[in-house]
A and B are shown apart, each in its own frame.
Chain A
Amino acid sequence: MLWRPMTRLVLGRILGVAPVLLGVCFVVFAALHLAPGDAARTILGYGATEQRVQALRAALGLDRPLIVQFADWLWALLHGDLGRSISLGVPVSEIILDKIGASLLLMAASFALAAGLGLLFAALSGGAHRSARDRIITLAMLVLASLPPFWLGIVLLFVFGLQLRLLPISGMSSADGGVLDVARHLILPAVTTAASSMAVVARVTRSAFVDAMNEPYALAARARGLSETRIVGVEAMRNVLPGFVTIAGLQIGYLFGGALFSEIVFNWPGIGLQLFQAIVQRDFPVVQGCVLAIAAVFVLGNLAADLLAIALDPRRRG
C-alpha cells in the first residue's frame, strides 16, 4: 500500500526531467542559431567569397529548416556526438568530458563547504536564538551573502596568494601535480564559490532551527534533562534536515553559476572557463555543449535533492 504512491512520486520526478532537458536542448540550439553570426563564415574566415560561404552552408546543412537541423542535432546528441569545435578542431564531447571533471570537483568541494558550514552555522546561531553568537553569525552571513564572487575571489587571491604566499594563484595543479597539489589549488576557488551559498543556506536553515527549538518536543526534551547540544544537534536537526536538503539542493544551480566566475578568476580549467573562451572565439558547438552540460548538472542535481528530501521527510511520501 505504502510503496506504490511513493514509487509513482519518484518515477514522476525522474520522468519529469526528460521534457525539461529536451526544452533546454531546444532553447540552447535555437538561441545560438538565431543569434547573429554564421558558422560557415567563421570556419572559412573573412577572406572567403560569398559563393564559398554559401557552398559550405549547404554542405553543413545550415540552409535547411531550423526544426530539421534541430532533429538532426538531437539525434547526433543522443549518440554522444556534439559536433566538432571550430576553434580547436577536436570533437566537442572530448572537450566536455575533459573539463566536466574539474568543474564537478570544484562544485563538490563548494557544495560540501556551503552545505556543511551552512548547516553548522545555522545550528550554532538558530540553536541559541537572540544570543550574541546568533547575532554575530547572522551579521557575518549577511555580509557573505552580499559579496560578489568575482570580487571576493580577487581579494582572496591578493591576501592568500600574493601577500601571504600560502596558496597558488591559478590553475588546477602545478606541472608536477599530485592530489595534495590539486587540493591546494582547490581551496580558494571553492571558498569563493561557496561563500554566498553557504550564507543563504545558513540563514534559511537558522530560521528552521529557531522554529524547531520552540516546538513542544524541544521543551519536552529539555524537561527530560537532555543537553542543549543534543537537542539542537539531534532532536531539532532531524526536523530541520528535509528543508535543509531542499535549500542546499537549490544551491547547486547557484554554485554552478558562481563556479563559472571562480573558474575565470582562478583560471580553473573547467566548463566555465572553456565556455568563456568559446564565447570569445565564437565557437558555437563548444558553447552549445558547455551550456548543455551545465543545464544537465543543474537539472540532475535538483532531482537528486528532491529525491533525498522525499526520503528524509515521511510527510512528503504522500
Chain B
Amino acid sequence: MIPRFRSALAIGRRSLLAGAAALSIAALAPAPRALADAGTLTIGIEADLARLDPHISGTWNTFKALSHIYEGFVAEDLLATGVATPPIVPALAESWEVSADKKTYTFRLRRGVSFHDGEPWNAAAAKFNLDRMTNPAFEFHQPGAVGMLQWVWGDLAGYEVVDDYTIRIVLKQPNSEFLRRLAAGGSGTPRMISPAAVRKFGNDGINANPVGTGPFKFGEREVGVRTVLVRNDGYWDPKRTPKLQRIVLRGIPEVTTRELGLLTGELDMISTPSPDSLEYLAAQGMTLVKGPVATIYPIWLNFREKPLQDVRVRRAMAMAIDRESMAKFLRRGTAQPAYGILNYGGPGWDPDYRDFPYDPEGAKKLLAEAGYPDGFETRLDWTMGGGGDVNTRADAEWIQRDLGRIGIRATIELFDNGTYWDMMAKGAREGTCCMQVSWGETGFFWLDLVLPTTALPPNGFNSGWYENPKMNELLAAARAAPTEEQMVATLHQIRDIVTEDVALIPVYTPLQVYAMRPNVKGFVLAPQHWADYTSVYKE
C-alpha cells in the first residue's frame, strides 16, 4: 500500500511541477506594451485626480484633466512659447467689452459650440453655470463653490442675459485682472458644465460624469487607477484639435515607480521625476523638458517673535541664505533663485530685480547691531509639501545651516501638508521664526491672501502677522488700476515695500520637469502647473 501511495504522490508532484513551470512561462511571456498604441498618451502623475466638478475641484493634478474637458469665457494660451505669462485668449466668449468704469464686462459668446453631450452652448448655459457657482437660491447651486471661487467672484455685483449669445457681468469695484482670474484654475475654476449633465446626473454626479466643451471628453475613470480622456472630434477650434486619440492619466505617488514605468514604456510621460534621476533618465534616451512655473517658495517671518521685530534681524536672516547655491547644488538645477515677492509668471515679475545680497559677514554685523551678537534660538516650521514638491526637508536643512552660520540656532519641525496649512490658517506659533510656503499664480490675487492686514489669521494667510496698512491700500489700487502699466507700477511698489520691511524672504522658483519617451513629440511646456496636450503626438 505504502509504496503505491508514494509513487502516486511522486507522479502528482511531477505533473504539478510541470504544470507550475508551464504556467510561469506563460505568465512571463512579454505582454503587449502601451507603446504599441500610437494614438494613446499614458501620463504618470504624482497623485490620482480629485473631484472632477470644476467649480469645486481642488488639486493642480486634477486640473491636468479638467483643463482639457472644460472651458470658460476666456483661456490662457498654454501653447504660446517664449513668454513668462501665458496670454489671455478668447475661448467660449468670442469677444468682450469692458465699460469705461471697468466694472461691466459684456461677453459675446461663441456660436455653434456644443457640450460633449450635444447640449448647445449659449447665454442660458452660461447663466446656469453662474447661478450654480454664486446663487445659493438656485436649484443646482454648488455650496462648495462659494468658498473655492471667492477669488473669482468676490467682487461680483450681478449678471444678466442680454440675448441668446450675450451675457453681462457687473462687478462691485474694478478688478484689473478679472479676465486672468476667469482663465485661471487649480483651486476651483469658473468653467462651464453642460446644464443637461447637471440635471441628469445631479450636482454630485458631475464628479463621475464631467461634461464640458473642451478638446478632450471624459472617457472613463477607475478611481485610484486611471482616468481616460478621449478626443472630441467636434471641437470648435481647429488649431487645438487634438493629435492624440486618447490621454490616460495614472496617479503614481511613488516617484521611483513612475520613473521605472517610463523606462519600460508602460508610461509615455511622467511629471516630477526626482532631481537625482535626471541624469540617468537622460542617459537612457528619455527626453527631459524643464522650465520655471508660476510659483515662488518664500519664507514667512514671524513678526511676533521678539528678535524678529527688529528689521535688522530680518534683513540679516535674508542675507544669510545662499539662494543661488541652493538652486544650483541642492535643487540640482531644478530651481532658480527668486528675488522679490512677485513670482515668475505673474504680473510685474522682473528678471533683473534683486533684493538682498548673499552676505553672511554683513548679516552677522547687522545681528550684532540689533543686540544679538551671539544669535538666538528658534524653530523652523515646515511642510512635507504637496504633490509637486520634492524633498522639502532638504530646503529646511539648508536654511537651518545658513542661519546657523550667523549664529541663529534653529530646530526643524516637519508637518504633513494638510496639518501644516491648518496651522498656518491660525498663524505662526510662538517660538517659530520661519515657515515655508509655496505660492504664486499667473495673477497676483494670491498676494491678497498673504499680505494685507485683512488677511491676518483666521481671515487669510498673513500667517507671519505682518501688519502694514499700506499693503491694503496698494493692493486695492493694483486691483482698481485702469491700465496694465499702472497695475504693474503699483505691484512694483508693493514688492519694494515687502523687500524693505523684509516681510517675507523669497527663496526660489521651482522648475517643473517632465520626462518623456523619445517618440513623444510636440509637447509645449507652459509656465503653469498643467500643460495643453492638444499639440502632443507620438511617432
What is the interface of chain A, defined by CB distance below 8 A to chain B?
35-38, 41-50, 52, 56, 84, 87-90, 95, 98-99, 154, 157-158, 161-162, 165-172, 174-176, 180-181, 183-184, 187, 264-267, 269, 273-274, 276-277, 279-282
Contacts and interface: CB of A to CB of B under 8 A. Distances in A.
B47 A277 contact: yes
B5 to A, nearest CB: 10
Interface stretch (B258-266, B307-315, B488-496): B258-266
Contact of B148 (A36, A44, A265): A44
Contacts of A180: 26-27
A143 B422 CA distance: 43
Given A88-B51, A267-B250, A267-B252, A170 B425 contact: no
A42 B254 CA distance: 25
Contacts of A172: 225
A214 to B, nearest CB: 24
Contacts of A171: 225, 250, 266
A75 B151 CA distance: 39
Interface of B: 26-28, 30-32, 34, 47-48, 50-51, 53, 56, 58-59, 143-144, 146-151, 187-188, 204, 207-208, 222-225, 248, 250-254, 256-257, 260-261, 263-264, 266, 386-387, 416-419, 421-423, 425, 449, 458-459, 461
A223 to B, nearest CB: 16
Contacts of A87: 50-51, 58
Contact of A181 (B31, B144, B188, B449): B31
Nearest to A157: B260
Contacts of A169: 257, 260-261, 264, 266
A181 B31 CA distance: 8
A98 B260 contact: no
Contacts of A162: 260, 263-264
B26 A52 contact: no
A118 to B, nearest CB: 18
Contacts, number: 158
Given A90-B208, A280-B416, 14 more contacts: A36-B423, A41-B425, A46-B461, A47-B187, A48-B150, A89-B51, A98-B223, A158-B260, A162-B263, A168-B266, A169-B257, A175-B248, A273-B224, A282-B418
Residue among B53, B143, B250, B461 facing the most chain A CB atoms (10 A cut-off)? B143
Contact of A264 (B28, B149, B253): B253
B50 A281 contact: yes
A43 B144 contact: yes
A175 B226 CA distance: 10
A46 B223 contact: no
Minimum-distance CB pairs A-B, first 3: A48-B147, A47-B150, A89-B207
Contact of A47 (B147, B264, B419): B147
A309 B300 CA distance: 60
Residue among B188, B257, B419, B449 facing the most chain A CB atoms (10 A cut-off)? B257
Contacts of A181: 31
Contacts of A52: 146-147
A16 to B, nearest CB: 34
A50 B47 CA distance: 30
Nearest to B263: A162
Contact of B147 (A45, A184, A266): A45
A267 B223 contact: no
B253 A276 contact: yes
Nearest to B228: A175
A41 B422 contact: yes
A279 B417 CA distance: 10
Contacts of A264: 253-254
B480 to A, nearest CB: 20
A154 B223 CA distance: 24
A181 B47 CA distance: 24
A161 B264 contact: yes
Contacts of A269: 222, 224-225
Contacts of B387: 280
B229 to A, nearest CB: 14
Contacts of A38: 422
Nearest to B445: A47
22 contacts: A44-B147, A46-B421, A47-B148, A47-B150, A49-B150, A52-B146, A87-B58, A89-B51, A162-B260, A169-B260, A170-B260, A170-B266, A171-B225, A174-B31, A180-B26, A180-B27, A265-B254, A267-B252, A269-B222, A277-B48, A281-B50, A282-B418
Given A36-B423, A174-B34, A265-B254, A187 B458 contact: no
A89 B147 contact: no
Nearest to A226: B2
Contacts of B264: 161-162, 165, 168-169
B254 to A, nearest CB: 5
B437 to A, nearest CB: 12
B444 to A, nearest CB: 15
A99 B266 contact: no
Given A44-B144, A47-B149, A169-B260, A279 B416 contact: yes
A79 B486 CA distance: 61
Contact of A184 (B27, B150, B386, B459): B27
Contacts of B260: 157-158, 161-162, 169-170
A44 B31 CA distance: 45
Nearest to B48: A277
B425 A46 contact: yes
A90 B58 contact: no
A50 B426 CA distance: 12
A260 to B, nearest CB: 12
Contacts of A90: 204, 207-208, 223
A234 to B, nearest CB: 11
A45 B187 contact: yes
Nearest to B460: A46
A44 B256 CA distance: 34
Given A45-B188, A47-B148, A267-B254, A168 B31 contact: yes
B6 to A, nearest CB: 8
A21 to B, nearest CB: 25
A267 B257 contact: yes
Nearest to A233: B9
Contacts of B248: 175
Nearest to B461: A46
Contact of B253 (A45, A47, A95, A280): A280
B151 A47 contact: yes
